[in-house]
Amino acid sequence: MSRLSLSRFTLERFRHRLASVDALPQLCVLGVVSGLITGGLMVLFRSLLILGASVFMPGDNPEAFEALAPVTRALLPLLAVALIGVWLWRLPPAGRQIGIAHVIERLTYHQGRFPVRNWFTQWWVGLVSVLGGLSAGREGPAIHLGAAACSGLGQRLRLPHNSLRVLVACGTAAGISASFNTPIAGVIFAMEVVMMEYTITGFMPVILASTVAAVVSQAVFGFERPFEETGIALGSLLNLPWIVISALGIGLLAGGFVRVARAGGHLKRIPFVARFALAGGLVGALAWWYPQVQGMGYDTLGLTIGGSLSLDVLLAVGIGKLLITAFAVACGIPVSIIGPVLVAGGAAGALCGLLGAQLMPELAAGPAVYAMLGMAAMMGAVLQAPLAALMALLELTHNPNLILPGMLAVVVAGLTSRQLCGCDGFFISVTRHGLHPLQQPLMQALNRVSVPAVMERALVRTRRRVTLEQAGALLEAKPEWIMIERSSDAKPTLALKAADLARWLLEHDENDKLIDKEGRLDLLEIPGQRLDLAPIHLQATLSEAFERLNTKHADALYVEHGHRPKQRRISGIITRDAIERYYRYSDVPPG
């Protein structure tokens, strides 16, 4: 029996396998590693929140704003925006981009590569915004920190860019999973909101990453069920019409939230300092009377579901928290919005439940049911992510009885926000023909594969002028293409079809007019197919290659291997036909 050789499991072979569309085992390995990395980062982030809270918060609780004096909790947001503003002041606009929108932008236009500067900014802004009493969650930092760290590992190992995209999805799902103990919601969120596609190759590594991250988090913090309410059910189906009406109202609130948050263009005329001070002052003013609007608000959501909050507090949380979060985003403060949206949706749902109890006291379900449904409906409408919202409802409440009414509420609220308010998903800022660039079918297919999977490796390199003997020697390796090196970098690199050279050698001899006095043949003068070439790196995806062919107006690309300019090797050639053959083959069903 032959023993397995360790030389078979080299990093180079691993990279080569990842370039293909069917590299599922290799991607699953990356999923496990991503879960460990992101789980560890989330443990560190939550530990830093607890450590920061131990300095000035009662009980070392980062959400105990209600126990602070009114003056203290009113001044905290002003201090927070000052600390965030000082950090962001010297950064260029690109360096201020953090959170989920930044992750989607880097995935859309940069193949999932993240700047380190923005990653450190996310740490600072994420911690200060939550501890400083702004209306902010921790899921934005969780997603950005996890996705960027996992992508950074892939960049460090020089993995092909199609695997970087999967690493971003793994970090996203693992961040959600480790933060909220919601592994299924993390997977659906990563595929529905960030990747915007569903594939088996994408799902399996993301599931592994989400599972491993949840295990890491539970090993440190235990298994938490903050919003579990056993025995709660819809009761009578006569509640369904009121659920539809309630979801319609929540959808309008969600549409208003998106529109206010996107009003940043109108606020740019206000100076940077004034905008930040205005946003912090608004939070502080509302927090003087209603501290429940500050921070993440998950304790407030628990009290909402438990029916412990008064009517005025529910109004402050359901409407006030929603507005101050949207206004902070519009003012340029990069706070995380999903946590506040969940909390505000729960309060808005509880208000609908209380009103329903007045209208039909004998039939209406309790406010707790409507609070849970409102939480999911608001999240689904703001993000335009119905499946992620439903999975969050299931995992946060551990109550399968709410799935049926939850489906109705999420769909109605999502349609209301989209159709009546004209709002796409909160994180989708650019669409073309109604689709985000990540949703374009061609780009989705080409992003799944890197150039090594389809490039033509059979090529030889030569100078422009060669003797007949040298020309014959070039063909001995049976190349597909002959790459002609030019005397100057300013001149375009060309490729000649090897079959055309072989045909010319069969039909001509040394007396041909193309042979100069020194007995050399000019390869640029031979009749045949020639391609203008532009360079591309080995890690690029087919979508990058397709875009580069268009922008450089080239016929084909030569694939460079290596990072040092004087030590780069040519690994192969990728033509436009090769890309089109891959897409047509992958798009045509068998048979």
> Do the domain assignments include residue 455?
yes
Q: Are residues 13 and 44 in the same domain?
A: yes
As given in the structure block, the two tokens for residue 198 are 């569903």
Q: Are residues 123 and 166 in the same domain?
A: yes
pLDDT per residue rounded down to tens, the chain (591 residues):
444 444 566 888 888 888 887 788 999 999 999 999 999 999 999 999 999 999 999 999 999 999 999 999 999 999 999 999 999 998 999 999 999 999 999 998 888 999 999 999 999 999 999 999 999 999 999 999 999 999 999 999 999 988 999 999 999 999 999 988 899 999 999 999 998 887 777 889 999 999 999 999 999 998 876 666 556 777 778 889 999 999 999 999 999 999 999 987 788 889 999 999 999 999 999 999 999 999 999 999 999 998 899 999 999 999 999 999 999 999 999 999 999 999 999 999 999 999 988 888 777 788 899 999 999 999 999 999 999 999 999 998 888 889 999 999 999 999 999 999 999 889 886 555 566 777 777 777 788 888 888 888 888 888 888 888 888 889 988 898 988 887 666 677 888 888 988 888 888 777 677 787 778 888 888 888 888 888 898 889 988 898 888 888 888 998 987 665 555 678 889 988 888 887 766 544 433
Would you say 376 and 399 are in contact if contact means Cβ atoms under 8 Å apart?
no
What is the spatial distance between Cα 403 and Cα 508, in angstroms, rounded to a whole number? 78
What residues does 495 pair with on adjacent strands?
483, 531
What does DSSP assign to residue 19?
T
What does DSSP assign to residue 9?
G
Q: Are residues 206 and 350 in the same domain?
A: no
As given in the structure block, the two tokens for residue 327 are 């206004």
> Do the domain assignments include residue 2?
no
As given in the structure block, the two tokens for residue 504 are 């010319």
As given in the structure block, the two tokens for residue 534 are 């532009």
pLDDT digits (tens, 9 = 90+) for 92-142: 999 999 999 999 999 988 889 999 999 999 999 999 999 999 999 999 999
Would you say 336 and 129 are in contact if contact means Cβ atoms under 8 Å apart?
yes
> Do the domain assignments include residue 141?
yes
Q: Residue 241 belongs to what domain range?
A: 237-439
Choose the final residue of a domain: 439, 466, 493.
Answer: 439
As given in the structure block, the two tokens for residue 42 are 């989330």
Q: Give how far Cα 588 sits from Cα of 198, 446, 591, Å.
A: 18, 14, 9
CATH label of the domain that carries residue 456: 3.10.580.10
pLDDT digits (tens, 9 = 90+) for 508-527: 777 677 787 778 888 888 88
> Do the domain assignments include residue 287?
yes
Q: Are residues 202 and 301 in the same domain?
A: no
Residues 466-476: b if buried by 16+ CB within 10 A, e if exposed:
bebeebeebee
Q: Are residues 212 and 261 in the same domain?
A: no
Q: Are residues 415 and 300 in the same domain?
A: yes
Choose the final residue of a domain: 189, 221, 253.
Answer: 221
CATH label of the domain that carries residue 405: 1.10.3080.10
Q: Are residues 251 and 277 in the same domain?
A: yes
**For residue 474, what are the contacts with CB-CB under 8 A and spacing of at least 6?**
460, 462, 466, 482, 498, 501
Torsion angle (degrees, nearest 10) of CA 137, 139, 145, 149: 170
What is the spatial distance between Cα 539 and Cα 308, in angstroms, rounded to a whole number? 55
Q: Are residues 429 and 362 in the same domain?
A: yes
Confidence (pLDDT) at 51 = 96
Confidence (pLDDT) at 131 = 96
What is the spatial distance between Cα 85 and Cα 272, in angstroms, rounded to a whole number? 8
> Do the domain assignments include residue 445?
no
Of 338, 334, 344, residue with least CA distance to 290: 344
Would you say 219 and 461 are in contact if contact means Cβ atoms under 8 Å apart?
no
Q: Are residues 18 and 74 in the same domain?
A: yes
Q: Are residues 212 and 67 in the same domain?
A: yes
> Do the domain assignments include residue 232?
no
Choose the final residue of a domain: 375, 407, 439.
Answer: 439
Cα–Cα–Cα angle for 332, 338, 343, nearest 5°?
115
What residues does 135 pair with on adjacent strands?
295
| Structural domain count, the chain | 3
> Do the domain assignments include residue 231?
no
- Phi, psi angle pair for 97, to nearest 5°: -80, 120
Q: Are residues 410 and 270 in the same domain?
A: yes
State the amino acid at position 279 in one-letter form: A
Confidence (pLDDT) at 582 = 77
> Do the domain assignments include residue 583?
yes
Confidence (pLDDT) at 196 = 84
Q: Are residues 32 and 168 in the same domain?
A: yes
Whole-structure pTM value: 0.88
Confidence (pLDDT) at 238 = 82
